[in-house]
Each structure stands twice: as C-alpha cells, then as structure tokens.
C-alpha cells in the first residue's frame, strides 16, 4: 500500500526535477542569439538552428522563434534581461511593447515581483490611461490608431459602474460610450429624460459584520458582497468574473467579515492588491486606481509578502 509519505516524496522529487528543467531551459533560451550569430549549429553539423535546438534541448520551432524575438527586443535592456535569467521569457513578455529606455528599470521591477496575469493587467490599465500612475511617472504608450485622447475622472455610484461594466463586456469604453451617444442623439433623448424614467430603488441593507476568527465567510455576507457587483470583479472597468472575495483590511490584521471591506476580485486584481499596488484600497472600489510602488511601511505589506509566497 502506498503511504502518504511516499506520495509526498514522489511529488517533491518530480517538482524538483521540473524546476531544474525550467532553469536549464531558460539558460538555453538566453544562449540562442549567440548560437545563431556565430552559427554554432552549422559548425556542429546541424541543418538549422531549429534542428540544433530540438535535438539538444527539446525546443520546438515556435519556441526558438519566440525566444529569438524576445531576446532581440531585450537588446540593451540589462534590467529586463536579469528578470529573464531569474523567471524566464514569459515574465517580461507583457512589458515588451511599453518599455522605453527611461522606464525599463520601473517595468523590470514590476516584472520581477508580479505574476504574468497581474503584470498583464497592470500594463493593460497603464496603456489605457497613461496618467493613471500620476503625471510625474512619465510612463507613456503610443496609441496604435494615433488618436488624440484625454483622460477624465468621474465619480459614479457603484451600481452604476457595475451596470456599465456588464453592458461594456469586451468592448472599449470609447466604443460603448459612442454607441450610447449615437442612440441618444438619434432619438433626441436627453439626460433629463433618462433620469425621469428611473425608478426609485430602496438600497439593500448590509448584513452585520461578523468576527468568527475563521476564514470562512458566512453565506449571507458572501451572497450580499457578490450581488453588489453582479459577480464581477469590483475593480473599476474590469469586466471579468470574480475569483475571490478579498479582505481589503487583511483578515490576518482584522479577522472580521465586513461587507464594506470585502471585495470580489478577479485573480489578476487580487494579485495586484497583495502586491500593494491598488491605491485607496480601503475606500469604495470606485475610488481605486493603480499605484507606482507599495507602501513598505504598512502592516499590510508584511502580510502581503507572506501571501505572495504561496502564489
């Protein structure tokens, strides 16, 4: 009969081999540009660099092309190359099109600390609104359509935001708003007409916060919190379904399940929260935005560091 210890030993051994395999694959990927430049593959009797990489390292044609493309993009990017050596090519892929000589160190620090999904989300939101990190950050991205854009800030009711997010889906905000404006203009409907048609709805009463000392969130509170965002991520503008109910005050610091400090988040935004990169986190989600750096002096930062060890 197989014991639990034997299962754990087999798993640990396989995991160790897998980690070593990833490390050696990263080393092979980093060597490819030099292998190609000096035609090592030809001098060793191979018909192409693809045959060379396939037979010696088990790399596919796509993997070779991908590695060469990324390494080409990283020429002169010493900080990003350091991240690649430690975490692999995928760790820097999301920042390749937004990094400049001036911002490389900033994006390298984010690539080093964030997982791939969280980094993609961070980059996506900075591209959509370069001013989200503050004017002094000097982080910009070129609009592919060369459109003139301007960022505006609107303070909306949470329910209004959630209704907009549901309608928006995968569309861009510009596309959604222009469609709505076209409809209103064509039907000669003004804002006053829309407001006059709204029905008064009594706000739903919050469940009482409960301090159980346990991480299990009572069903009544869970249901209420999820209903507030219609099951979507609470981060402004995110249309993804939530993956986790996040304690904005950190359960380890305050073991209370409070509907006002619980937020449904998708995995990427939950990772950004525990990286300390959401500003105004303990306020209503409508006030949330990105931060350049976490507050390393806060009690949250220490808790978040432990949480990230489990990712």
pLDDT per position as a tens digit, 215-227: 899 999 999 999 9
Task: Report helix, strand or coil for 212.
Answer: coil
**CA–CA dist 111, 91 (Å, integer):** 6
pLDDT of residue 132: 75
**CA–CA dist 263, 239 (Å, integer):** 14
The residue assigned the tokens 């010696």 is 56
**CA–CA dist 50, 64 (Å, integer):** 7
Query: In the chain, what is the straight-line distance between the N-terminal and C-terminal CA atoms, in Å?
Result: 33
Count of Cβ atoms closer than 10 Å to residue 269 Cβ: 30
pLDDT of residue 42: 94
pLDDT of residue 201: 41
pTM (2 decimals)? 0.69
User: Does the structure show a pLDDT above 60 at 150?
Assistant: no
> Taking residues 210-217, what's their average pLDDT?
86
pLDDT class of 157 with cuts at 50, 70, 90: low
> Taking residues 23-45, what's their average pLDDT?
92
Highest mean pLDDT among 24-33, 130-139, 179-188: 24-33
Compare 143 and 58 and report the one with higher pLDDT: 58
User: Does the structure show a pLDDT above 50 at 280?
Assistant: yes
User: Does the structure show a pLDDT above 50 at 134?
Assistant: yes
pLDDT of residue 198: 38
The first and second tokens of residue 44, run together, are 């060793």
Helix ranges (DSSP H) in 58-188: 61-73, 78-87, 104-113, 116-128, 158-168, 173-187
User: Does the structure show a pLDDT above 70 at 200?
Assistant: no
How large a percentage of the chain has pLDDT more than 70?
86
How large a percentage of the chain has pLDDT more than 90?
46
User: Does the structure show a pLDDT above 60 at 11?
Assistant: yes
Compare 153 and 298 and report the one with higher pLDDT: 298
The first and second tokens of residue 25, run together, are 């694959």
> Taking residues 2-8, what's their average pLDDT?
88
Compare 136 and 80 and report the one with higher pLDDT: 80
Number of H helices, E strands in the chain: 13, 4
> Taking residues 239-261, what's their average pLDDT?
92
**CA–CA dist 188, 305 (Å, integer):** 54
The first and second tokens of residue 32, run together, are 């490819």
Are the CB atoms for 246 and 98 separated by under 8 Å? no
pLDDT of residue 306: 83
């Amino acid at each position: 009969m197989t014991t639990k210890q034997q299962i754990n030993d087999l798993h640990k051994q396989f995991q160790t081999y897998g980690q070593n395999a990833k490390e050696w694959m990263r080393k092979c990927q980093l060597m490819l540009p030099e292998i190609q430049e000096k035609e090592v593959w030809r001098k060793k009797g191979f018909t192409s660099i693809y045959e060379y990489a396939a037979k010696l390292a088990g790399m596919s044609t796509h993997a070779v092309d991908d590695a060469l493309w990324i390494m080409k993009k990283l020429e002169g990017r010493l900080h990003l190359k350091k991240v690649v050596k430690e975490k692999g090519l995928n760790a820097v892929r999301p920042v390749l099109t937004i990094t400049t000589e001036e911002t490389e160190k900033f994006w390298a620090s984010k690539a080093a600390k964030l997982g791939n999904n969280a980094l993609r989300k961070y980059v996506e939101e900075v591209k959509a609104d370069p001013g989200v990190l503050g004017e002094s950050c000097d982080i910009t991205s070129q609009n592919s359509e060369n459109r003139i854009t301007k960022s505006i800030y609107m303070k909306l009711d949470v329910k209004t935001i959630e209704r907009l997010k549901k309608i928006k889906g995968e569309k861009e905000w510009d596309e959604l708003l222009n469609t709505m404006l076209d409809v209103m203009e064509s039907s000669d409907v003004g804002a006053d007409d829309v407001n006059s048609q709204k029905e008064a709805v009594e706000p739903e009463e919050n469940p009482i916060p409960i301090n159980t000392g346990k991480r299990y969130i009572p069903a009544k509170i869970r249901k209420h919190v999820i209903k507030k965002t219609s099951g979507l991520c609470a981060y402004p503008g995110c249309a993804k379904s939530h993956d986790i109910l996040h304690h904005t005050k950190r359960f380890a610091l305050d073991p209370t399940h409070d509907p006002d400090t619980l937020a449904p988040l998708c995995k990427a935004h939950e990772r950004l929260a525990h990286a300390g990169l959401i500003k105004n986190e303990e306020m209503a989600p409508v006030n949330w935005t990105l931060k350049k750096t976490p507050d390393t002096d806060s009690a949250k930062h220490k808790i978040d560091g432990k949480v990230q060890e489990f990712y």
